[in-house]
Structure 1
């Protein structure tokens, strides 16, 4: 029996059900294998006086331990100090987790620590692995390498953690190259592609899917947090040059008000819909109805939304970042574009005027599955023992 302690600061909870659903699903699939047991540590960083603010009060009120979709999940709090660019997060996380791991180890003798994000999870996991004498794996997902890995206060911690880890995973070959460029040894990094729920994301009748949602005409869908990095503003600006199309933004975030104002300025407010944060079934319904999925991120590892759109038979218009070329590997899958409204609009118009065969589009996602993801993860972790 392989006993895995999964460390994931990116993991859903009752206040944030869509916070890292891909980490949740990966962990559930791993735990479902017959020779694997998993416990999840999903730490919550709370600053001094943080409980004075609504956001942190809700997080502080979460149960310290619960069964979440069949997984035993611990939600310890750790000290997060704002204003220091994250430089102390990993050290404080490791420090505050030691007592809990001692308790867990008394009844669950974990064999390996599986960190699911490179910062602060990675450096903390390395420290904890040394303290408890177990090997450590760290997974890179994109923003952890591109944001934290490029920031002065945390770059060194990420590189040191990569050099000290017993093994590493990453979501695309492109991210692996970025990690190597930082100085992390490539011989211990394996590409571990995301999974895909083929029972949820599949080719459906597009006309019927649109009718069930009460929408008609060309539909563009963008799935991702409403933050600047995701490039939703570029999609909104491009919509002005795609007559008659509706853009549906799925996700929540601080940029919503700015995006609403932009839609008014460029004259498309009546053709932009904001759905907020919704569950996976709703996302699947919209991707099945969409003519094109548009996501012009400034950086990505390999976005789950890309793969889910393709599996739904919906071509993508995305920026040439991260693992984009590993997904758009055939003409029918969509277009890679520069981050400029004119280029985006032109690619969308091409796909609307000559829609690719939906089964050909779906073929680009055929190799992704949660079953394959879990089996590879188990083999990787066993190989570290």
Structure 2
């Protein structure tokens, strides 16, 4: 089967930077059985092509990206017929997938993977902030033959707009992230928190720092690209936390496990998440997560995670203090989170996509 996969990016030719690990895990598995062509809207500024994990990447780049992406899918279809079109993320990629599928008479699936359906106006985040975005998402949701999302939170957003979707989590590649049993915290050791996320407003590291300031002795490792020009570091210094917060910047997948292995608790402070995969990766390594009621954390509470409302620094601090003082609770959360992450790993994700495609094609 020949499949067109439309993505905004996440498929850098290096396979290490500017990639989405769960996407690469899916492409790798699909390419073992199918001919996979990935149409990346803006991976690089200039158009180009390369192979990645057995899939052929067509980078669109430049201006009029949506129109040229639709044209590129149609041109590749003429070289050899596609059987279906898949968009990972809605937004512009979803619009490309739906338009190309309709023009070619193909079936189309769209996986809503981010903030396409939200509008957080105070931080300028979300696909539905402007009329143009709302019209685009309406076109995508109506035009797709199948809608999927990683967590119930996003399924609820889709349902609120009058559409049905199925839960299809993007899982951890256990070839890259081998399972480790949860480890007891050393007696007397300071509580080490970790967050793996870009420094940006939707991840709300300001809320996390406010929470940290209320938990004496706790330390925090922040791992991710800084998109705010040092603003988070300035907040840490301003609030007297510089000695308790370590900024590591971007790390590759190979570099992450050793850093996570030193932590006792993974913390999410986001205003919105569709997943995130970081929760699942931490769980595979035996590290439990607490945080704001988004994505998988909202699904997993109270057995595999604990949550506070987004933006609630005091509530987040209370969760950190609770887990810090109850090692049995921390380990219970870790074991249950790991069980769930392993049950829905990258192989499970691939199987579910294969079942989705078989259903769409009547097989």
Q: Who is 2:299 aligned against?
A: 326
Aligned counterpart for 1:110 among listed residues 73, 78, 82: 82
Structure 2 residue matching 1:12: 3-state secondary structure: coil
Give runs of aligned pairs for residues 102-141 of structure 1, distance below 5 A: 102-141=74-113
Does residue 64 in structure 1 map to residue 37 in structure 2? no
CA contact (8 A) 1:11 1:23 kept: yes
Q: Deviations over 1:52-78 (max 9, x none)?
A: xxxxxxx335x6011123321111224
Structure 1: unaligned runs, 5 residues or longer: 46-58, 80-91, 211-215
| 1-structure distance, mates of 2:133, 2:336 | 42
2:356 matched residue in structure 1 = 380
Gaps of 5+ in 2: 119-125
Equivalent residue runs for 1:240-279 within 5 Å: 240-279=213-252
Q: How many residues align?
A: 345
Determine the C-alpha separation between the residues in 2 that align with 1:207 and 1:317: 17
2:179 is matched with which residue: 187, 198, 202? 202
Q: Structure 2 length as normaliser, TM-score?
A: 0.87
How many Å separate the matches in 1 of 2:54 and 2:38?
11
* SS of structure 2 residue aligned to 1:342: helix
1:193-228 deviation line (CA, Å, top 9, x unaligned):
1212335153357589x9xxxxx7321001111111
Q: Which residue pairs with 1:56 in the alignment?
A: none
SS in 1 for 2:202: helix
**2:16 aligned with 1:4, yes or no?**
no
Separation of aligned partners in 2, 1:7 and 1:313: 33
**1:24 alignment partner in structure 2:** 24
Q: Could you say which residue in structure 2 is the equivalent of 1:224?
A: 197
Q: CA deviation at 1:368?
A: 1.6
Contact 1:115 1:137 in 2 (8 A): yes
Given the superposition, is the C-alpha separation of residues 360 and 96 from structure 1 closer, same or farther in structure 2, using an over 3 Å criterion?
A: closer
Distance (Å, rounded) in 2 between the aligned partners of 1:171 and 1:44: 23
- Please state which structure has a larger fraction of its residues in helix: 1
Superposition CA RMSD, Å: 2.3
Aligned residue in 2 for 1:40: 38
**TM superposition shift of 1:369:** 0.9
> TM (normalized to structure 1)?
0.83
* 1:153-176 superposed Cα distances (whole Å, 9 cap, x missing partner): 211221122111111111112211
